Amino acid sequence: MKKILIALLLISVLLLAGCAKRGEAQIQQNQTNQSGGSQEDQSLGDLFNIDTDKPAEAGGYSVPAAGEE
């Protein structure tokens, strides 16, 4: 009976360890997928970015010389 209990305990530990390992591997896989996808997403997202500053104007050439008239 004792041997059976020990055997069951060992099986349970091994099963748990297996599950944990699979879970870890899955997490790693997910992280890899996420990382790869995010890079593509980032690249596409970066394209939606346009400069909004206005170019230089010629304001300086419209200042009159007081007295010139």
Tokens describing residue 62: 């419209």
Q: Name the one residue in this structure whose structure tokens are 């996420």.
A: 34
**Tokens 């010389």, residue located:** 65
Angle among Cα 18, 24, 28 to the nearest 5 degrees reads 145
* For another protein, the closer CB: 12 or 39: 39
Closer of 5 and 49 to another protein (Cβ): 49
For residue 42, state whether it binds another protein (rule: CB under 8 A): yes
- What ranges in the chain are assigned the alpha helix state H? 2-47
Tokens 């896989």 identify what position?
Answer: 29
Shortest separation between residue 32's beta carbon and another protein, angstroms:
13
5 vs 46, beta carbon nearer another protein: 46
Judged by CB under 8 A, does residue 41 bind another protein?
yes
Task: Give residues in contact with another protein (CB under 8 A).
Answer: 34, 37-38, 41-42, 44-69
